[in-house]
Amino acid sequence: MKEKIVLASPHMGGNEEKYVKEAFESNWIAPLGPQVDKFEEDIARYSGKKYAAALSSGTAAIHLALITLGVKKGDKVFCSDLTFAASCNPIVYQGATPIFIDSERESFNMSPIALEKAFKEHKPKAVIVVHLYGQSADMDKIKEICHREGVPIIEDAAESLGATYKDKMSGTIGRLGVYSFNGNKIITTSGGGVLISDEEDIIKKARFLATQAREPQRYYEHKELGFNYRLSNISAAIGRGQLEILEKRVAQKKHIYDTYKEGFKDIKEISMNPVCDYGSPNYWLSVMVIDKTSSITPLDVILALEEENIESRHVWKPMHMQPFFKEYPFYSSEEGDMSVGEDIFKRGLCLPSDTKMSEEDIQRVIKTIKKLWR
Ligand SMILES: *Cc1c(COP(=O)(O)O)cnc(C)c1O
């Protein structure tokens, strides 16, 4: 069996162990602690947002974002349709109704046209904008619409830490931003997330709710429903080390993307996921899209790669096509029977984008795929 090539895996930089050792030496083997405080400062400084709350997952961060914005039972929340279920599950946790917004072809992200359509018929409490595979959505257009409607934006930047939109970091344009440090993301804490904002009261509230909504009393006092959503001091120590090498990982991911692009340039039926000129992506996952006219499907490619012990995956299946979410409203960006998200889902697949891959590994992926087109 050939050596396995994976989609994306944790890649330590070196200092993580040092910080974990600090945590051990001070016996801070607990949720919260000095590493968490430092990690929150590091994230705030890096992103340019004033405050950060380190949490147990990106999903928890989205959930607390909704709560702090007052999303309750019966409310509506708009959310990108082409995404991972973690973007919208917390809407349902709150008993609110998700309303799904189709993608645009230019960025694969939320279409301002579909967003306008949805606003004609609904008044949501918040809009969750996802930056897919590390490419930022076109935030100016989305922001203009949401601003006009007076609706706050939560940026689900779980996949786009390190990417930019114009001169800002992805995730810092909305009122609230979310990053994830799950094991497959560009950097990891082995599991974790963060909520960022310029509003101190929101972040303080998120920290409070994440620590069981425990009132500052000598006895245990609770006036609100709380959660156990805080990050552990050990995980935060890993995160501090990871953040130091984030830029390096972005450069490596870009190299992987560029190598695929170059490798497939003579095959007309293959294109790569879009890179928009209003910023730079973090290239978290490279996605190839097969032309409509081709007889080769993403599954053919996935199976051919599997034969060679290479991992690849379908693009996220749009939420409006999911059995669990199919009863909720959905707004398509184009006329016609197929939405943009569905079209991307049917023709796209995620290629190995692991920063531990060697040049030979990347070439092995390209060669295996090209064989199908011979
Ligand atoms: C990974 C991911 C999340 C969830 O993050 P977790 O830390 O795994 O909870 C949310 N949204 C998107 C788009 C993601 O890719």
Angle between helices 298-307 and 359-372 (to 10 degrees): 130
Q: Single out the catalytic residue among 76, 125, 185, 253.
A: 185
Taking the chain, what is the end-to-end CA distance rounded to the nearest angstrom? 24
Residues 150 and 217 in one domain: yes
pLDDT, tens digit, for every residue of 249-297? 999 999 999 999 999 999 999 999 999 999 999 999 999 999 999 999 9
Mutate to test the pocket of ligand 1, among 7, 55, 59 (most ligand atoms within 8 A of CB): 59
Name the percent of the chain lying above pLDDT 90: 96
C-alpha 86 to ligand 1 mean position (Å): 5
The finding on whether 158 has its CB within 6 A of some atom of ligand 1 is: yes
Residues 137 and 113 in one domain: yes
pLDDT of residue 32: 83
Mutate to test the pocket of ligand 1, among 182, 231, 287 (most ligand atoms within 8 A of CB): 182
* Triad 305, 311, 315: Cα angle to 5°: 95
pLDDT of residue 7: 97
The finding on whether 193 has its CB within 6 A of some atom of ligand 1 is: yes
pLDDT, tens digit, for every residue of 179-198? 999 999 999 999 999 999 99
C-alpha 29 to ligand 1 mean position (Å): 25
Q: How many CB atoms lie within 10 A of CB 259?
A: 17
Q: How many CB atoms lie within 10 A of CB 13?
A: 15
The finding on whether 59 has its CB within 6 A of some atom of ligand 1 is: yes
Residues 202 and 257 in one domain: no
Residues 210 and 358 in one domain: no
Question: Which whole number is the average pLDDT over 199-216?
Answer: 97
Residues 227 and 211 in one domain: yes
pLDDT, tens digit, for every residue of 25-81? 999 887 888 999 999 999 999 999 999 999 999 999 999 999 999 999 999 999 999
More confident residue, 28 or 171: 171
Mutate to test the pocket of ligand 1, among 156, 181, 231 (most ligand atoms within 8 A of CB): 156
pLDDT of residue 360: 97
Q: Which two tokens stand for residue 196?
A: 């960022």
Four-residue CA torsion sign, 222, 225, 226, 227:
positive
pLDDT of residue 175: 98
pLDDT, tens digit, for every residue of 216-244? 999 999 999 999 999 999 999 999 999 99
CATH label of the domain that carries residue 293: 3.90.1150.10
Given 180, 210, 244, the domain boundary residue is 244
C-alpha 295 to ligand 1 mean position (Å): 33
- Taking the C-alpha atoms of residue 277 and residue 250, their distance in angstroms, rounded to an integer, is 17
Q: Let me know if 73 is a catalytic residue.
A: no
Tally of domains in the chain: 2
C-alpha 310 to ligand 1 mean position (Å): 23
Residues 20 and 168 in one domain: yes
| pTM across the whole model | 0.97
Which atom belonging to ligand 1 lies closest to the Cα atom of 61? 9
pLDDT band at 139 (very low <50, low <70, confident <90, very high): very high
pLDDT of residue 336: 87
- Taking the C-alpha atoms of residue 79 and residue 82, their distance in angstroms, rounded to an integer, is 9
Q: Which two tokens stand for residue 180?
A: 């994830």
- Taking the C-alpha atoms of residue 311 and residue 298, their distance in angstroms, rounded to an integer, is 13
Q: Which two tokens stand for residue 155?
A: 């940026």
In a domain, 4, yes or no: no
pLDDT of residue 87: 98
pLDDT band at 337 (very low <50, low <70, confident <90, very high): confident
The finding on whether 80 has its CB within 6 A of some atom of ligand 1 is: no
Residues 107 and 143 in one domain: yes
Average model confidence (pLDDT) for the chain? 97
Q: Whose CA is nearest to atom 11 of ligand 1?
A: 87
The finding on whether 16 has its CB within 6 A of some atom of ligand 1 is: no
Which atom belonging to ligand 1 lies closest to the Cα atom of 185? 1
Residue 1 has pLDDT above 80, yes or no: no
Residue 127 has pLDDT above 80, yes or no: yes
- Taking the C-alpha atoms of residue 295 and residue 276, their distance in angstroms, rounded to an integer, is 28
Residues 193 and 67 in one domain: yes
In a domain, 21, yes or no: yes
216: containing domain: 16-244
Q: Which two tokens stand for residue 319?
A: 């939420």
Residues 82 and 183 in one domain: yes
DSSP track, 137-170: P-HHHHHHHHHHHT--EEEE-TT-TT-EETTEET
Residues 275 and 334 in one domain: yes
CATH label of the domain that carries residue 21: 3.40.640.10
Q: How many CB atoms lie within 10 A of CB 248?
A: 12
In a domain, 1, yes or no: no
Least confident of 96-105, 332-341, 347-356: 332-341
